[in-house]
Structure 1
Amino acid sequence: MYLSKLEIFGFKSFAQKTVINFNEGITSIVGPNGCGKTNVVDAIRWCLGEQRSGVLRSDKMENVIFNGTANRKPMGMAEVSLTIQNTKGILPTEYTDVTITRRIFRSGESEYLLNKNLCRLKDITNLFMDTGIGANAYSVIELKMVETILSSKAEERRILFEEAAGVNKYKLRRRLALRKLDEVKADLTRVNDIVSEVEKKVASLERQAKKADRHNALSTQLRELELDLAEREFALFHIKIDELKNSREENFKRKIQIESDIARLEDEIKDARDKLLIIEQELAEKRNLITEQTDKIYQVQKSLSVKTERKNALERNRTKYSEELIELEQELRSSEELITNGTNNLITFDEVLKQKEYQQQEIEKKLEDLNSLLEQKRSELKNHSDILLEKVREISNKENEVKNIEKSLTDFYNRIEKLNERIQNISNTIAKTVGFVEELGNERDETKRKIEEAEQLFVQKQNEKLKLESELNHLKEKEVEQKSLIKSIKEKAEFIQNLIENLEGVSKGAKALLENKSWLRGETTILAHIGNTDEKYRFAVEASLRNNLNNLLVESLDDLLKGIEYLRNKKIGKASFFFPPNGNENKQSFFDKIQNFILKNKAKKLSQESGFIGWTFDFIQTDKKWKNFFDKILQRTCVVDNLDSALALYKKYPQFNFATLNGDLISIDGIIEAGSEPKLDDSLFGRKQLLENLKNELPTHERKLIELQKEILWKEEQLNEIDLTVLSERGRMLVNDLANVEKQIAQFEYEIKKSNDESDKTQKEIQEFAALANELDNQKIKVSEELSVLKLKQEQLNSEQTTLEEEFRLVRTKHDETLNLLNNLKIEIERTIGEIKNTNNAIARAEESISSIKSNIERRKNDIASAEEEIQTIQTELESENQSLQSLEAEKNELNKLLEEVESRYKESREEVNKKESELKKLRNEREQLSNLIHKSEIDLKELEMKKESLIEHIKESYSLNLEKKVFEDLDTFNFSERHSQVQEIKDKIKNLGPINLLAYSEYEEEKQRLEFLYKQRDDLIESEKDVIKTIEEINQTAQAQFKETFDKIRENFIKIFRTLFDPGDEADLRLEENEDPLEAKIEIVAKPKGKRPQSIDLLSGGEKTLTAIALLFAIYLVKPSPFCILDEIDAPLDDANIDRFTRILHEFKKDTQFIVVTHNKRTMEAAETMYGVTMQEEGVSKLVAVRFNEDFDFVDK
């Protein structure tokens, strides 16, 4: 198998359609830089499926289309076709000629064709898999890939080894298996999430069922304990109330006696305090005199202290100034000595500096002369070197030209022989092709039959899937509706709950009384909250009670009066009340009895009228205790079907009120209330019952939602079991097989015609090569004569070059010595200048210091004289003030004796007042205690009464029982606290149980069955996961074994070829990273040419790295030969000796591999049987010139 033809049209610089015919062996592509040689390599790589625009030296893929020049318009499409001879059947197809075509349009669309039939990139990739051919395989090698082959990036280097080992198909299968494993894990995670959720729900329902049983048991126990406790507390309340009343009377009598004693003591204390006040005035006068005398003494003492401290401070300063004066005089002498020494040093430094500057001038003149001479010698040497180099180039070109001619002659003769063999091979191929066409016709008929069967099965499964999808969508719509309904019910219940809690719609006065029941002794609520009715009659009942819905129901006249008083005090409006009648409601006058008799007769007639539905009070459900309220206010109100009936009946029976089902009302006084139908949520009557109905309705809808979700899950599982992708893929594969068969038939027929044409063309080439060989022979003689003349001239130039180099070396040595001497002298001059500068700075600082020191000395002398004068003045003042202090202290002692006498009399009077006040305080405290006890008794009595009433109400509300007074013998010993704790403990237990679900038992069984079904599904997924993991392990084992076997062969071949390219004693090796999976382990390349021990192959020279890469390439080739190999300027870093080694390897492998080499090297060109030259005669447009060599003649085809 080899690459036979490349067709390029509109790709990069190939604006015209260009056809390159390749032969077996070595073909070289040459030309100047920028003419488009590498575009040929890019075209082959692109056609093989390269997807990275950067590899094609382009920003984006559309840029590979010819973009136009000054004389040509841009093209809208690029197309490259690659024809491969598959005579050995290496490719998995029956065609002997396989043509791969790739097109791209400026719109971004692209096409792949296989033998002129559209296909996918995947089809082309699969065709070349494990053949060594591909965009990323080693069939295309360029210079930058030398570094890639030897790269430290393991993934780039590994591609070559995996392609040679043929493990790509295993890695593809593993990726598919891993993808399947991820899908199974995702399904398993999803099922586990559902299982976890259902497990929680089952556990929750189980707990709820148990909790319902626990709730019933606790409720029974609570009733027994709480009733017993309430009866005991009720008896205890009565006992404590009697005790508190007796205690209150005794305390009141004692309080009156104490108040009389307090009045007597208050008069006596008043007289004693008047006497005490006179003594206090005399005592204050004495104390003021002593205070004034003390202040005078303090002022004198303070003055003495300040002056003494000032005197001590002055003496300390005088001592300090004397010490500083001595230090300043010493510092002055040191600065004067420093100035004298620095002046002497400056004179010496100045003389040394002048001497060194003179030496510098002399050396610089000498260095200038040497620079001129050195530049002259350098110029002469460079000119002579250029002449010699040009002669060497001319000789090298002539030698290469002679060798190329000799090589071309040999190649021409070999080519003629091969062309004769080709004619014979073409004849044999035609005979085989005819047989293939007949076999493919039978295969085509069989494939058509399979396609029809696959299409029928696909349509059947597709219809099943559409039906399931329709059913599933319908169920999901119902699920959304059910969720929306549940949400609506919850929101409505929450809204009504808020209306009830916030007393919305209740009048301001009634709302205030309901929110604060401190005024209330009994029970109260509004009329709207004590009854309910059916939804059908709700608007009619609401209209009938509209003016009474906010009326408060109270149990006593006392509560009614207190409620009114509360509203008046708080000034928060009015409220309407109902209270129990006084018991005389059944006593009617004779007139009332007659009137009621008449109404009953009219009511009986009214009930038989058309449109009449019933009496309003019959539609109201309420407790018996509230029934009288509704009967009383609704005794003349009935419900009719609509407003028309109400108007008609009102005309006949004006003694009655008429309410319609829509909420309209006609009252006895002729007022009609009508309009739009009210909203159910705005209804005030029966809100509590409506809320209860919504809460009871919610569990039913939630169960329906769960059933829908179960059915959706089951339908989704059925839908997932239908996989149309597999059926579609099978049908597509059969269609592709049919297309491939038809392509092969057309290709074989084309091949027969093409083979006949090729035979005629080959005969013509034989004649052309014979003429070309004769012309090359004459050219060889002429070039050899020119080469002899050039070599004589080279020897003369070499002698002159040696003389010039020696003269240049002597002048440069003298120049360098003089330059070093000058640099050392400059350093000494700079050092001397620095010492002069430092000395001047030191002298300046010393002069500044002397002036400052002299000023400080004078200042300190003045400070000492001033301090001595002030010390003498302060000593005189201290002696005078000491005499004044002694006189003041004697006067103060006389005043203290008089004060002691007055204080004695004051103490006696104060003790008498305190004694009487203490007695008064005790009596007042006792009175206060008695008042508190009386007040506390009254509060305790009220509190006990309230507790007793509260207890009665609690038992009545909780258990519908009335407490009665009983006698208990063990009340004194009974532990009420313990019993309360027991009751509270049971209440807490009931509260902690939370809401009770009465449907928990049935829901638990349903969810338990669903959980068992999910367990089975999860087990199936776990088994599937194990199967996929086992498959992945088997793939890994097979791929690892195959890769390791191939790697060992490549390693053995690499060592052998490396030593062939370098020397037999050189070291080379390939190593896999230890303790790693062979399919992922790093591959280390060791290359150590003789005499070198580099730690890394990156330290090798460019030529050595290139030969190492070539050795690795051919080592891979020996394991699995690539049918053709394209080398793009990989010989650029090689010198002539390495080029010979490189071409020798090419010749060794060209028997089984076709080489296409892009090169600038003439030695590489010599190794080729065919050479194509790429030129750019028109700017921006590449053109091809072909030359084929043999032993007899040459031929140029443009």
Structure 2
Amino acid sequence: MFIKNIIISGFRSYREQSFPDGLSPKTNVIVGKNGSGKSNFFAAIQFVLNEKFVNLRAAERKELFHVGSGRPALSIFVEIVFDNADGRLVIPGRSEEPEVRIRRTVGLKQDEFRVNDRKFSATDVHQLLESAGFSSSNPYYVVEQGKIVSLVNMSEEERYQLIKDVAGTKVYEARRAESERILAETKGKQAQIIEAICGLEKRLKELEAETAELKRFHEMDREKKCIEYCIFNSELTMANEALLKLEEEWKKQAALFNESQDCDEASELKITQLSQKIADISTEIARLEVERAAVAKEMAALTSKQAVVELDATEAAGRFTRNNREREALLREDRELETTLLTVAADIEKKKALYRASEEAARKKAAEVDTQRKILERLQERRNRTKLFKSKAERDRWLSGEIKKNEDLIEKSQRELVSVAQEVKCVEEEASALSKQMSAPNLSTADVDQNLRDHELQIKAALGKRDQLNQQRRQLWQSVHEQESVVQRLAEASRGAKQQWERVVRQDVRQGLQSLSEVLDDLRNPALSAAVHGPLIDLIEVVEGYKTAVEITAGNTLFNVIVDSFDVSTTLLAEMNRRRKPGRVSFFPLDTCKGKAVDISTTPECSPLLSKVKYDKRFAAVVAEVFGRTAVVPSLEAATSMVSKLQCDVITVDGDQLGRRGGITGGFIDKRNMKLPLRECEKDLTANLLAARSKLDGLCQEVATVEQNITEVLNELEVLRNQNISTELEADVRLRESRLMEDRRSQLATLKSNLVATKKAVENSMAASVETVRELKRELSDEFRSAWTPEEERRLEHLTEEVAGARVASSELQADALQLATEVQLLEDTARHVERRKGVVADRIRELGWSKHAGSFADGEHSAVKAEVDLLSQRLQSIDRDLEQDSRERDRLQSQLHALASKRLSAARSLQERKDVADKTQMQRSLLMQRRDDALQKIRQLGVLPQGVTKCESASLGKLMYHLKAINDQLKGVSHVNRKALDQHAALQEAMKDLTLQQESLAKELDSIHELMEHLDAKKEEAIERTYKQVQYQFEEVFKQLVGIESCSAELQLVASAAPNKKEDPFTGARIRVSFGLGNPVSQLDQLSGGQKSLVALALIFAIQRCDPAPFYLFDEIDAALDAEYRTSVANMMARQSAECQFLVASFKTELLDVADKVLGIFFHNKMSRIQTISKEEGVRLLKQAALEDRKRTREGA
């Protein structure tokens, strides 16, 4: 146990103070300047814990108030928060509190203590602290400034008294004083008892004469009672006989009345049922009319849509017919074009074969001619050069130049060949890529048709799904309309039930329950709402047939609200009053309601009413409180016999009550205004209404889901149609691209053939140049001749003639090849034209094939709209049939209702007459029952009857009255008799006996008191001796620990009395002998220095604390006069002891800061003290600053 926090408000120099991070459970050192508020802090703690501030006068209270800037406070308080994890502080009623808060609040006219927000007296707080270890006999858990000095300056007698206080001798002395007081009182009581016994003996003699006169009076009184009993019994007999006759008459009237009432209730029930049926049928007719209007509107819209769709379908059919005719013509043309294309292709192959043969012959002939021509040209050039050049050197120069030109031409031809080869390679690559692209899987016409067919199937499926969803939506809307009608009918019935409930239940009760519900909604406290279970009427179920008995028994307690505890009810009432809510509400707190049921056995004629009520076991006590003391019987006769037998309240199933004290209530009960059936009806209607609304919400949700699905299907249809269009467009684009690629491939083939021809021409030219170079080089090596030989001339002429003839033959062959090439070209142009026309025809056929899908869409749409129109037409006819049938049924029910209303009106008059007779009979019955009860009451007042009562039973009423008058006259003569003489005589004898016993008991008490006083004296001496030994031992140990020298010693000696006796103490004082290790022991403390005196006093204080330990200690500047080495010893001792207790120490020295677990600095500013946690370094600086200021003030004062 330790102090966790201290909260100060308005106490002396502290305006507001607390410790957010708490105090340490070990050593807390408080530092601050002089006048900063350290002593006020310790005073605040003592303000709560000590008796220092007990019985404060108004002026003393005023001095405790904080005086500073701002508005003065009307009250101040100090609160100490204890950590009570060890359970040392035990609060009555709350044994396990982990935290205990003790607050003392003082105002100008107020001084109160609170422990954990419960009000305690100062004595209770003192006892609570004493039980936790704060002993009033050991005030040294708080050591204030100057207390050490006073301890040093104590005399030996005061020091001995201190040891006695620590030993608890005050308790023994207080008990001894109390024993002496009791001894004196006992002796006084003994004398009074002796005197009382003498007086009683005298009074007993006087009462013996009065007793004889009283016996005579009793004899006359017994005779009077006999006469009165006979008179009252006669009246009782006549009243019972009249009641029996009236009871039979009342039963007959009640049976007739009940029969009429049952008939009336049956008629009313039939009228209500008929009215409800008529209302239901009217609602159904209204719903059907609304639905018919909606269906007719939808029918008109669909009819318009059907006309549009039919036009679209007719147009699509005509377009389909035209497209079929055109497609058939195109198919015929396509077949013709295919035949033409095959014929042309065969001709092309034949012509190409002839062309290739002719071209080969022409090429060979041309090559032969070219060879001969080149030989001829070279020969002619050699001949011409023989004539052109005059010398070999001139010829060689010209030949070298020609060779150089031809070699340049060869290089150029080689470059041209490389370029042409590259172009051929590029053309081949492009052709290869184009072939790959054309050979890749492509969208064929069959694929397009398949995709379109797939889309058509998907569209048909989507259209079917759309039609199905439309039909489902239409059915759901019909269900929604029907459910709306049900909800409307239930809502009207619920409103009627609530209105009937409001008429039956008192307004203040209804307002109270409503206000309670509003308060719970406003508070929004789940725990508080869970603690409120609702009114009793909502928490019970009653067996059918017993609702009248249960309601009559419970009365207005049916509306009492069951809550968990009394605190919950007070909280709710306070909130209702604070909000000024109207109404009245009562509660059944479960923690205070301890009702128990009377033991009533169940028989065929009787059973406990509690057994007819079903309830939760949590509310058993409340239900037993209301119904547990009542039995239920079938009839009033059974109730009369059961009341006296069971000694409890009895009620019939019809609601007639018989109290166990004789009271009878009952009569006509209007069952239409019974609260339990009305409440059950309202709850059922509310539950049905909620279920119907929930079903309506579900249907609306289904409608929304179906409409969303319809939207999704329509979107899907739009997507499919768009996919059809995109498929057609994509097919057109790809087929167009395929044709373009075919054309490009043809172009590339032509380009390649041209490039190959160019390459051959360049190769031939280069070969010619090579041959020329070779001939020129050979000529260059030949000898120069100025003229040719005749033989060479002849050869040249012969070669000229051959070349001419070969040229003619070659020209003829080339003309034939050209003719064949022209024919092949014409045939290829014809084939290309036929292929292009065939492609156009195929595209048109494909377009016409795709267009038939659009026609199928229109047909499907037309079929769907027609089907919907047929369904709506059928629904419209069904609604018309239902309307006609419901109208006929409503007319028939209205006729029955009028007949029942007329019949019930006449029955109501008869019922009122019988009710008047029954009420009159009931009034007479009540008067007779009052007479019977009066007679019974008078008989009961007579008490126990005397034995001679049977002698007067045969006398007439007049004779009995005469005898009664005579007895009364005789009793007047003895009216002065002491009627209590016998009782007084017996009482005095009993008192004499009691006084004798008391006298003997007092004698024994005197002996016991003497023994107790002797025992207390012995215990006191034992306590002093035991405490002295403990203090002596601890004083020696503590002194050695503080001084720290092995040879030091300390002794506490008791000074014996000079002439002791049993009634006085054997000792008169306590002497201290100490040695600091040097010199002889010192018994006169004045011979020690100031620091040594303080050390001795501290050693004694620590010794006393060890003998009587407290949970924590408050030390205010205990180290002020100590030397530095002793301050360190004291600090170390406190550090060791802080493991078991808490220290709050104020100091101006730094040694205690070294062992502190928390350092608190006190600052004073604007007349206000403030404590906050600081570091040890800040504490040292604060102490140094305070020392400097003290020295400065000292110098200024000097």
Q: TM-score, normalised by structure 2?
A: 0.29
Higher Rg of the two aligned structures: 2
TM-score, length-normalised on structure 1? 0.29
